[in-house]
Amino acid sequence: MRLIQNLLALLAWAPLLTADRPGVIISHRAPADFPLTADPDATEWKGVGGIFMERGPKDELVPGHRTEVRSRWTKDNVYFLFTCPYQQLHLHPQPTKTSETNKLWDWDVAEVFVGWDFNHIGRYKEFEMSPQGEWVDLDIDRDHMDNPNAWRWNSGFEVKARIDPSRKIWYGEMRIPIKSIDTRPPAPGREMRINFYRCQGRDPARKYVAWQPTNDDSFHVPEAFGKMKLE
């Protein structure tokens, strides 16, 4: 009887026992930089494993939004590829791809929060892209979240996105200069602190997805970040 009770208890916790907890994503080394395609079947992404996120910031299941994130790196850049199922799109009516969009987070976005300093975890960078290829990057300091110029920081990162309305999936790819994140040159075994998020749809059905739950209404909880390891 005790064995059956233990098995039932284990099954009850099964949704939480994933390979992503505690969270580690492997960024796989690429021999050279490559063009952005926002295509998971592109040669550069073939056979590259990633992580999945399907729960909200407070660890609640978010059905229909199981998002895959893959990563690669070179001596100069780190890449992220998002595969984002959706039920409803909430897009900026006047998108621009020539300059960053402040408050892009009010629309549909995929986000990367990443920092290298394990001693000062309140300092990190935020990178966002939309299904329309809009973008914004921010230099975050948790001690000065009221800084109105955080979004004016420019990392030089690039994005590409596309929407497949027949499958109700949008794809987004980022190329981020490593020097904008880490003052040290990249090397195998190097670790960074990271979390991934999505905002999708419009109120009252707006969805929020987090790789590592923050247990807060805010995404800005660096204590909850996972890790990215360069391999």
Q: What is the pLDDT of residue 147?
A: 82
- The pTM of the full predicted model, rounded to 2 decimals, is 0.89
- Judged against a pLDDT cut of 90, whether residue 223 lies above it is answered with yes
Q: What is the pLDDT of residue 150?
A: 85
- Judged against a pLDDT cut of 80, whether residue 12 lies above it is answered with no
Q: What is the pLDDT of residue 146?
A: 81
- Judged against a pLDDT cut of 90, whether residue 78 lies above it is answered with yes
**Tens digits of residue pLDDT in 126-180:** 999 999 999 999 999 988 888 888 899 999 999 999 999 999 999 999 999 999 9
What is the pLDDT averaged over residues 201-228?
A: 96
Residues contacting 200, CB < 8 A, separation 6+: 65, 84, 86, 87, 88, 89, 90, 108, 206, 207, 208, 209
206-225 b/e (C-beta count within 10 Å ≥ 16 → b): ebbbbbbbbeeeebebbebb
Q: What is the pLDDT of residue 22?
A: 66
Listed in sequence order, the DSSP H helices in 60-212 are none
- Judged against a pLDDT cut of 70, whether residue 19 lies above it is answered with no
What is the pLDDT averaged over residues 94-113?
A: 96
Least confident of 16-20, 22-26, 127-131: 16-20
Q: What is the pLDDT of residue 16?
A: 34
- Judged against a pLDDT cut of 60, whether residue 67 lies above it is answered with yes
Q: What is the pLDDT of residue 149?
A: 80
- Judged against a pLDDT cut of 60, whether residue 6 lies above it is answered with no
Q: Name all domains of the chain by residue range, CATH numbers in brackets.
A: 23-34+64-230 (2.60.40.1190)
Q: Is 47 left (phi over 0), alpha (psi -120 to 50) or beta?
A: left
